[in-house]
Amino acid sequence: MHIVCCIKQVPDTTQVKIDPVTNTLIRAGVASITNPYDLVGVEAAIKLKEKYGGKVSVITMGIPAAKVQLRECLSLGATQAVLISDRFLAGADTLATSLTLSSAILKLHADDPVQIVICGKQAIDGDTAQVGPGIATRLGFTQLTYVSEIISLDKEKGLITVRREIEGGSQVVEAKLPVLLTVELELGAPRYASLPGLVRAIREKIETWTAKEIETPPEIVGLKGSPTSVRTIFAPPPRKGGPVFESSSGLEKAVDSLLNELFEKESLLVQEIIKVDGKVEHAKEQ
Amino acid sequence: MPKNSKGREVAEIIRKKCSGCHACIGECPVDAIDIVDSVVFIEPEKCIGCGKCVPVCPTDSILFNKPLKKVSEAVPTKSTSGISEYKGVAVYIEARGNVAADVSWELVGKARELAAKLDTQVYGFVLGQNVANIAHEAVYYGCDKVYLMESPLLQTYFSRVYGKALTQLTNEVKPGIMLVGATSLGRDLASVVATHLKTGLTADCTGLDIDPNEKLLLMTRPTFGGNIMATILCRNHRPQMSTVRPKVMRMPSRDLTRKGEIIEVKFNGKVEEVPRIIETITLDPSSIIDITHSPVLVVIGKGACDSRDFSMFEELAGLLNGTIACSRPLVEAGILPYARQVGQTGKTVAPKLYIGIGVSGAVQHLVGMQSSEKVIAINADRNAAMVKVADYSLVGEYQKVVPELIRGLKARTANFQFQGAK
Amino acid sequence: MNEAFEVIVVGGGPAGISAACVLADAGIKTVVIERGESPGAKNTSGGVLYGYNLAQILPDYIKRGCPVERNIVESRIWYLSKTAGYSIGYRDSIFAAERKHNVFTVGRARFDRWFATQAKQKGCLIIPGTTVIDLLRDADGKVSGVATNRQDGEIRAKVVLLADGINSALAAKTGFRKDVHPEHVALAVKETIELDPQIIEQRFAVSSEDGVTTEVLGEMSGGMDGVAIIYTNKSSISIAVGANLAQFAKTKIKPYELLEAYKQHPMVSPLIAGGKPIEYTAHWLSEGGYDTIPQLVGDGYLITGDSAMLFNALHREGHNLAMASGKMAAEAIQEAVKAGDFTRNGLSSYVRKMQESFVMKDMKKYRRFGSFLFGTPQVFNELPQVAQFAAREMLTVDGVHKKQKQKLIMAEIRRKVGLLNIARIALRGFRAVR
């Protein structure tokens, strides 16, 4: 059983501060972490490895500093880690990223056939949830998104059964390997690495592959291979406070003035809110 | 401009502005750019001052005053000549049984606006089995042409089969723009199709518009916890694909007199092995709490942290068809579950109306709600941060204010309905 | 875990890493256990380092890319009342040339990371994100390793070097360091204020590499026994104010308010105007001086740096004492390895080296200084007020002749402090630092 986990280095959003003047995020000085969804995926992969044998390879596309995140995965018990790093890969959008990662998985696959690929549901900095399905499509693997539980794995028959979260509920599906899973946090928090695991991760050499090594020409990866480009980045204008009604000068009057303003100045909004209930529509039909 | 020890003028990053997007790293011919603590760092000793990193920076964060040499445009990977063949604005209409997801109609409404600016048509893509009635509905909501692909293979949604079907349809119809609702199904499907088509896909857009000069789709989305907005283009690939979350766009009116063409398309897919669905659990919709989808939120803060007052809050929320949410202290106190928490460590919300009761307005909370359309603060403290950002504030004890507000609202909604009836 | 080491260093700060570098150079198998996610991650101090001490450990520290913020060319001392102050400074071009890097500022987060990397390159194993929770002892009671908070988390070694800072729970576990008393600890609050390098250079009149340190005494510590500082970094200014923890508790002054008031002081506010606070931190400094230093060695262990309460309160020297003690501890361990004796006796050369070095000599010299300040609240209250009155009177030109002014000043001194008291304070102060 060969499981590949794709991880991403993301800024720790809980540390991000906001510039009170420009209302933009200050990213400077914010530490990087492993995308929490991805780490849950790595934990799931290691549990599968412990139960069914085999190996877990962790890959990431990123800058050399992303080795820290790969080491974290090794400390949990991943078998090997590969960094895909090349300046030609920088500035990739989701299409170029899924191409790069799937090329790397194919290289791993050539050495030892891959049965399961696990990605986080989405990255907390981009929230796109596109890379996982993109990789599955390129590899031709069956994709099972929003997996909240791995119920069973039948190695002999090559079948995996998982629970997926879907709109308004969940479903239990059985699929034939090879599969790509994108996982929810419900799958289970990563373990706290043991001391020998941590020491091994610190000492392990992490392989680095360039674009050439995964056989992706520079024109189709990174910024050049990305159909989308950012035109502008801007901060939404900071909110400005509006009128303040003091109940100390008469509660009833204050509430009344507020509602007056609302129903006059925000009549469209008020209509819409009440329309959601269908009250206005019903009224019209009457 | 700073100089390095060799006396060469070098580029320098403005750390405050850098968004950490990595775009410049690939441009640097000498690998002088790295990421340090989430923002870019340009190693002055390595930098040769060529300025290639400057034009790609979307936030103008690179300090560089030398005149730039002309930088050639990135080579498009796909020939741009075929782009003109792609016309029209398509919407994937998500079928759930034999009804469509509301978000699909919201997108048809948006597609009409975009089509008007491009002087083109709106297409509806309906896929499934026994979904012809949805195709008719699509016309009523604003589609000029509806492409209907029915097949027993499309009875149940499977990513791979649906991906192939929608890819086939897109290749045949060649729309310039394709919009998909960002439901879990829509997000799953759109990524598959974009990968097949090798085109760009921008997720969870909150704003869609047409550039008046270039006629390109401008896709605006919040990134990074909703605090920064990015406008994204897909210049050389078609269709320009975007997903949009439910309730972001306005629901258009359903007009039974509208006329449109319904075109049936045969699915070329073959029978293939699909996952087996063993069990499906459908939760009672009322039991699912998703504060990110509710158009009205009544948000309880530390200043109103008494569970005995909750019936009052629920009544207010009920009157406005709202949902109860909260700030972090209430979750920590175990009064409300994590799913209800607004803020940096909770959910980012953008309701049409946000009513904060006893919410002080810590930065971490404000980040999670500042995209709300209108904000009302009910707070005992005139100087609370929340009062400073709210569109309307009521200063007073919430125990007194909220019942009065309920009374006032009741009186007015009755009145309002009466006027509507006239 | 199974693997054993010769030395376990607990704590990846200046003391621990100094020791680790020296041990690794001697080919001794060493592991450093640091509780922060990376060395420096838990460190809040931005401060001054002394090139001499660093060169003792890494002679080529500049070549190795030591992250120097600014080379200090001028030292200022201020004595402040609430609204005014005296300033003296000494600037010397020698500190920008031959004696460059005599003193320089560093950001501890960056410095510690860099310093740890040097130890790593020398062959040390550095384990971050791991907390040592207890000392392991063999049948004879000799320390034989540590237990950490991780699964399978015990490590054995011949000797354990404690360099885990002032909050060291382990030093207390050795049984030879008493609980830290509030009187022996200062609480310092620090803010880092971001400013354009050019603005800093203008305001302090220095070139792009150089900087200024300012040590401040007087009323800005809210009448408590305390000091304040202003350090220039590359693109920020560190300002801090600290006072005795026991007095914070007694006066109920909030540290943050103290810092805010300090920032508003007319001598301080123009220096930081327009800057943006980017970090607010609080930390402890050991102030007990010589008399609170615990027993430095025992069977199988040594204590260094802040864990040993090594801090020179008058000269704000902590980092260099930490580094020097780390180095001496490492040298003592080398001797113990040669002799194969890791008992208290085998490690005792550490104590001897310390006694002979500037570390203990300075600690001894100033042993009464802490109690002098603690017992002389006038230094932080009446004296700066009188000093302000005197200067203000003498410098105000208003037709009153100077002799008359002197009379007024003397009257004020008599009223507020008393001449005899001034003499007494001066004598005690002199004795404390003699």
A vs B, Cβ pairs < 8 A, gives 353
C310 phi-psi bin (left φ>0, alpha ψ -120 to 50, beta other): beta
Q: Per the CB < 8 Å rule, is A202 touching C153?
A: no
CA–CA separation, C322 vs C306, rounded Å?
A: 7
Q: Per the CB < 8 Å rule, is B281 touching A170?
A: yes
* Terminal C-alpha separation, chain A: 65
CA–CA separation, C389 vs C81, rounded Å?
A: 10
- CA neighbor of B296 nearest in space, from B369, B365, B372, B351: B351
In b/e form, how buried is each residue of C396-433, taking b as 16+ CB within 10 angstroms? eeeeeeeeebeeebeebbeebbeeebbeebeeebeebe
Span B282-297, average pLDDT: 80
Mutate to test the interface with A, among B15, B166, B214, B224 (most CBs of A within 10 A): B224
Nearest CA in chain A to B363: A18
Nearest CA in chain A to B273: A176
**With 90 as the cut, is the pLDDT of residue C10 above it?**
yes
- Residue C12, phi then psi, degrees to nearest 5: -105, 35
Q: Where are the alpha helices (DSSP H) in B215-372?
A: 310-319, 328-332, 363-367
Scan for tokens 């890379």, then name that residue: A131
CA-to-CA separations, A196 to A57, A203, B31, B326, C162, in angstroms, rounded: 19, 11, 36, 42, 22
pLDDT band of residue C245 (cuts 50, 70, 90) is confident
Q: Taking all residues of chain C, what is their mean pLDDT, rounded to a whole number? A: 87
Question: What are B136-184's pLDDT values in tens digits?
Answer: 999 999 999 999 999 999 999 999 999 999 999 999 999 999 999 998 8
C109: enclosing H helix or E strand: helix C108-121
CA–CA separation, C224 vs C214, rounded Å?
A: 19
Chain A residues within an 8 Å CB radius of B338:
none
- The answer to whether C280 faces chain A, any CB pair under 8 Å, is no
What is the predicted pLDDT for the residue at A21? 61
In b/e form, how buried is each residue of A73-100, taking b as 16+ CB within 10 angstroms? bbbbbbbbbbbbbbbbbbbbbbbbbbbb
Scan for tokens 């792609």, then name that residue: B86
CA–CA separation, A229 vs A227, rounded Å?
A: 7
Chain A residues within an 8 Å CB radius of B34:
63-65
Least confident stretch, B386-390, C9-13, C80-84, C420-424: C420-424
> Mind telling me how many Å the CA of A201 is from chain C's nearest CA?
10
Coil, strand or helix at B165: helix
Least confident stretch, B1-15, C130-144, C321-335: B1-15
CA–CA separation, A122 vs A8, rounded Å?
A: 10
* Residue of A29, A195, A202 lying closest to C153 (CB–CB): A195
**With 70 as the cut, is the pLDDT of residue B418 above it?**
no
Least confident stretch, A95-99, C34-38, C176-180, C341-345: C176-180
CA–CA separation, A43 vs A187, rounded Å?
A: 9
Chain C residues within an 8 Å CB radius of A196:
1-3, 152
Would you write out chain A's pLDDT as a tens digit for each of its 286 residues? Answer: 999 999 999 887 666 666 656 556 666 667 889 999 999 999 999 999 999 999 999 999 998 889 999 999 999 999 999 999 998 888 889 999 999 999 999 999 999 999 999 999 998 887 789 999 999 999 999 999 999 999 999 999 999 999 999 887 899 999 999 999 999 988 999 999 999 999 999 999 999 999 999 999 888 898 889 999 888 877 777 778 899 999 888 899 999 999 999 888 888 888 777 654 444 333 333 3
Q: Per the CB < 8 Å rule, is A11 touching B401?
A: no
pLDDT band of residue C126 (cuts 50, 70, 90) is very high
Chain B residues within an 8 Å CB radius of A28:
15-16, 18, 37-39
**More confident position, C369 or A88:** A88
**More confident position, C352 or C365:** C352
* Residue of A194, A202, A203 lying closest to C150 (CB–CB): A194
Residue type for position A16: V
- The answer to whether A196 faces chain C, any CB pair under 8 Å, is yes
Chain A residues within an 8 Å CB radius of C108:
none
Scan for tokens 């008291």, then name that residue: C421
**With 70 as the cut, is the pLDDT of residue B69 above it?**
no
- The answer to whether A201 faces chain C, any CB pair under 8 Å, is no
Span B72-97, average pLDDT: 75
Which chains does chain A touch, 3 or more C-beta pairs < 8 A?
Answer: B, C
* Residue of A129, A227, A247 lying closest to B395 (CB–CB): A247
Q: What is the pTM of this model?
A: 0.80
**With 70 as the cut, is the pLDDT of residue B247 above it?**
yes
- The answer to whether A284 faces chain B, any CB pair under 8 Å, is yes
Which is it for strands A159-166 and A142-154: parallel, antiparallel or unpaired?
antiparallel
Question: What are C159-213's pLDDT values in tens digits?
Answer: 999 998 877 777 777 766 666 777 778 888 889 999 999 999 999 999 999 999 9
- The answer to whether C3 faces chain A, any CB pair under 8 Å, is yes
What is the predicted pLDDT for the residue at C45? 58
**DSSP state at residue A87:** G
CA-CA-CA-CA torsion sign (B204, B208, B213, B214): positive
**With 60 as the cut, is the pLDDT of residue B73 above it?**
no
Using alpha carbons only, how large is chain B's radius of gyration in Å? 26
Mutate to test the interface with C, among A30, A198, A202 (most CBs of C within 10 A): A198
Q: Per the CB < 8 Å rule, is C129 touching A198?
A: yes
* Residue of B27, B160, B345 lying closest to A142 (CB–CB): B160
| Secondary structure E strands in C138-235 | 143-148, 154-162, 185-194, 210-218, 226-232
- Residue C219, phi then psi, degrees to nearest 5: -80, -10
Q: Per the CB < 8 Å rule, is A195 touching C2?
A: no
User: A 45-64 residues with CB below 8 A of B?
Assistant: 63-64
Chain A residues within an 8 Å CB radius of B25:
63, 87, 90-91
What is the predicted pLDDT for the residue at B421? 40
* Terminal C-alpha separation, chain C: 51
What is the predicted pLDDT for the residue at B77? 46
What is the predicted pLDDT for the residue at B422? 36
Evaluate whether A123 touches A37 at the Cβ level (below 8 Å): yes
- The answer to whether C60 faces chain A, any CB pair under 8 Å, is no
Coil, strand or helix at C133: strand
Span B233-249, average pLDDT: 90
Question: What are B85-141's pLDDT values in tens digits?
Answer: 999 999 999 999 889 999 999 999 999 999 999 999 999 999 999 999 999 999 999
- The answer to whether A169 faces chain B, any CB pair under 8 Å, is yes
pLDDT band of residue B211 (cuts 50, 70, 90) is very high
Q: Per the CB < 8 Å rule, is A194 touching C148?
A: no
Span B55-65, average pLDDT: 81
Report CA B242 to chain centroid distance, whole Å.
9
Chain B residues within an 8 Å CB radius of A220:
77
